[in-house]
Amino acid sequence: MLYFFPFIPAVPAYAEEASSPAATGFASMLPLILLFVIFYFLLIRPQQKRAKEHKEMVKRLEKGDSVVTSGGLHGRVTSVSEDTVTMEVAENVRVKVTKDSVAVRKPSG
């Protein structure tokens, strides 16, 4: 008997039975499908949910709301148009920003 390593005998290899090609093809695709499902529930779905919530928040913007832009600018909304929001950041200082740049909305009141 041949020894490749000390105290570990060589084990003869036996041929395994070949499985059907259809089962082998599906079995090789299963890890890829499982990986996609995991990515969907951990990455894609939560991102879509956040985007939907942001879109609804932007739609509800109204005069008097306190907002923070994605650039970190704090202010109070003075007017809302179709694509932009005018906000007052200091007394008599107004800035016009796009609606999508509003990151946080604090309702008036």
Q: What is the pLDDT of residue 12?
A: 65
Closest CA to 62 of 105, 11, 26, 24: 105
Please give the structure tokens belonging to residue 37: 């499902």
Q: What is the pLDDT of residue 2?
A: 53
Rounded to 5°, the CA angle 29-35-41 comes to 140
Q: What is the pLDDT of residue 34?
A: 93
> Is residue 27 very low, low, confident or very high in pLDDT (cuts 50, 70, 90)?
confident
Any idea which architecture 20-106 has in CATH?
Roll (2.30)
> Is residue 91 very low, low, confident or very high in pLDDT (cuts 50, 70, 90)?
very high
Prediction pTM value: 0.66
